[in-house]
């Protein structure tokens, strides 16, 4: 029986004792958040000092300036600083790998399968099914967080990868301090994650919008060509593929909602990819994103701006969908699979077979068994299922919000509205 969860304190959080104590301690112990502080810590973590091309400093500086101008709680500043240090450390490790193994550049990222769609549109479930196939390689959270091991870190006596252990500790801490996080966005170490994380060592992508209020970052992202950052991402895949040698599959299956507004860039950087686009009523994505962000903000800000959240994410989803309507057909039908959410949930394997067919793969008995095993061991709703209340939490009806997306329903009539 799936537990249904209603968040009743979204606007006025009732935080648990553990989180309250952590917030109070951090407010009494403010942290430095600066470009040089981040880069110095990354150097110390890795014993490396070559970050490669310096253009990333502009983006890192822009990000930190916006964080420092915001009214973030100190505990959030620590989390953001540690994240920036991790990204800078990954950049150092990648640059070091390039110099030690220049032949990584000969690695081919051939015919990757890339799932594209709004949050809550079936992308995660579809990725999980496809990635459970042992013929394909995807990006578990522990590995995409730290794509390369740190040679400065000694191996553990228990044989576990320190990166996995670190990721698991963060997951357990998040579950303890914000218990409903797991129901909205599971982040276990082995959870297949989004490929945009591989742009973060270049301090790029819309990922940072999910971590704090950064409208200036968003506007700069809109204004700048994202092609160099997609090329950086592809290079990170080459490095990871080279580092694994023949021990891991060389065909990738990844996903990210950001690709909806970068379909032309995606086509330029991954011209032979098979792209899988999911479609769903955007109101579902907005209420999910705004609720998840509102719940997370109890440890980021002293007050929750629910009106601002629904306005921001309504606009963000609008931008994603307008770009998708404009650019979807840059991916021809022979390289594209269209997946309406309701039809997918009714018959997931139909669409898995459709993806396999476009990708030139056979749906084998072994692959079906591997997918069935994943479903059995990862039942939907195992952490509970959040019951959303758009009008109660954000003061806007689903019907009213849906009015701005008429162009999307016109372009894709296969989208079902409940």
Check residue 90 and give its pLDDT.
98
If phi over 0 gives left and psi between -120 and 50 gives alpha, with beta otherwise, what is residue 268?
alpha
Provide the H-helix boundaries in 190-226. Answer: 215-223
Q: What is the pLDDT along the chain (418 residues), one digit of tens a residue?
A: 678 888 999 999 888 787 788 889 989 889 999 999 999 999 999 999 999 999 999 999 999 999 999 999 999 999 999 999 999 999 999 999 999 999 999 999 999 999 999 988 999 999 999 999 999 999 999 999 999 999 989 889 999 999 999 999 998 888 877 778 777 777 899 999 999 999 999 999 999 999 999 999 999 999 999 999 999 999 999 999 999 999 999 999 999 999 999 999 999 999 999 999 999 999 999 999 999 999 989 889 999 999 999 999 999 999 999 999 999 999 999 999 999 999 999 999 999 999 999 999 999 999 999 999 999 998 877 777 888 999 999 999 999 999 999 999 999 998 887 6
- How many whole angstroms separate alpha carbon 123 and alpha carbon 13? 30
Check residue 218 and give its pLDDT.
96
User: What does the block give as tokens for 340?
Assistant: 């309406």
Check residue 167 and give its pLDDT.
96
User: What does the block give as tokens for 239?
Assistant: 């490095």
- Residue ranges per domain, the chain? 4-14+110-149+162-411
Check residue 164 and give its pLDDT.
96
Check residue 85 and give its pLDDT.
98
Q: Is 194 helix (H, G, I), strand (E, B) or coil?
A: coil
Check residue 416 and give its pLDDT.
83
Q: Which of 117, 134, 44, 169 is nearest to 282 (CA)?
A: 117
Q: How far apart are the first and last CA of the chain?
A: 24
Check residue 22 and give its pLDDT.
84
User: What does the block give as tokens for 194?
Assistant: 């989004």
Q: What is the residue whose two structure tokens read 């110099």?
A: 99
Check residue 19 and give its pLDDT.
78
Q: Which of 266, 259, 180 is nearest to 231 (CA)?
A: 266
Q: How many of the other CB atoms lie within 10 Å of CB of 214?
A: 21
Q: Which of 260, 282, 321 is nearest to 402 (CA)?
A: 282
- How many whole angstroms separate alpha carbon 333 and alpha carbon 112? 16
Check residue 384 and give its pLDDT.
79
Q: How many of the other CB atoms lie within 10 Å of CB of 400?
A: 12
CATH 3.40.50.300 matches 4-14+110-149+162-411: yes
User: How much is the pTM?
Assistant: 0.95
Beta strands in 131-250 (DSSP E): none
Q: Which of 224, 219, 279, 177 is nearest to 66 (CA)?
A: 219
Q: Residues with Cβ < 8 Å from 33, sequence gap 6 or more?
A: 64, 67, 68, 77, 80, 81
Cβ–Cβ under 8 Å, residues 120 and 284: yes
Check residue 58 and give its pLDDT.
97
- How many whole angstroms separate alpha carbon 59 and alpha carbon 49? 19
Tell me whether residue 126 is exposed, middle or buried, using C-beta atoms within 10 angstroms of its C-beta: 0 to 12, 13 to 18, 19 or more: buried
Check residue 189 and give its pLDDT.
93
């Amino acid at each position: 029986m799936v537990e249904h969860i209603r968040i009743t304190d979204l606007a006025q959080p009732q935080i648990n004792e553990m989180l309250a104590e952590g917030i109070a301690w951090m407010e009494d112990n403010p942290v430095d958040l600066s470009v040089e502080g981040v880069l110095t810590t990354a150097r110390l973590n890795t014993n490396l000092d070559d970050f490669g091309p310096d253009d990333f400093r502009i983006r890192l500086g822009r990000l930190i300036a916006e964080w420092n101008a915001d009214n973030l709680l100190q505990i959030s500043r620590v989390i953001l600083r540690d994240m920036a240090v991790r990204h800078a450390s990954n950049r150092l490790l990648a640059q070091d790998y390039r110099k030690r193994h220049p032949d990584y550049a000969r690695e081919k990222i051939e015919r990757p399968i890339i799932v594209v769609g709004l949050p809550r549109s079936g992308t995660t479930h579809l990725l999980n099914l496809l990635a459970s196939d042992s013929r394909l390689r995807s990006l578990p959270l522990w590995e995409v967080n730290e794509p390369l091991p740190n040679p400065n870190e000694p191996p553990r006596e228990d044989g576990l990868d320190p990166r996995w252990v670190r990721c698991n500790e963060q997951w357990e801490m998040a579950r303890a301090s914000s218990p409903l996080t797991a129901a909205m966005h599971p982040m276990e170490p082995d959870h297949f994650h989004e490929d945009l994380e591989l742009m973060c060592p270049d301090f790029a992508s819309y990922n940072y919008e999910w971590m704090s209020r950064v409208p200036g970052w968003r506007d700069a992202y809109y204004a700048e060509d994202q092609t160099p950052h997609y090329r950086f991402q592809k290079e990170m895949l080459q490095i990871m593929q080279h580092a694994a040698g023949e021990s891991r599959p060389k065909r990738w299956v990844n996903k990210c909602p950001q690709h909806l507004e970068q379909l032309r860039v995606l086509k330029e950087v991954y011209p032979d990819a098979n792209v899988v686009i999911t479609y769903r009523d955007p109101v579902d994505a907005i209420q999910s994103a705004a609720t998840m962000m509102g719940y997370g903000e109890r440890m980021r800000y002293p007050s929750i701006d629910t009106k601002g959240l629904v306005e921001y994410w309504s606009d963000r989803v609008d931008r994603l969908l307008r770009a998708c309507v404009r650019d979807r057909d840059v991916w021809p039908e022979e390289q594209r699979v269209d997946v309406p959410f309701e039809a997918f949930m009714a018959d997931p394997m139909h669409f898995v077979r459709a993806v396999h067919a476009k990708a030139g793969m056979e749906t084998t008995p072994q692959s079906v068994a591997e997918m069935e095993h994943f479903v059995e061991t990862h039942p939907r709703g195992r952490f509970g299922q959040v019951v959303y209340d758009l009008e109660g939490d954000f003061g806007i009806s689903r019907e009213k919000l849906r009015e701005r997306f008429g162009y999307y329903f016109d372009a894709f009539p296969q989208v079902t509205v409940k």
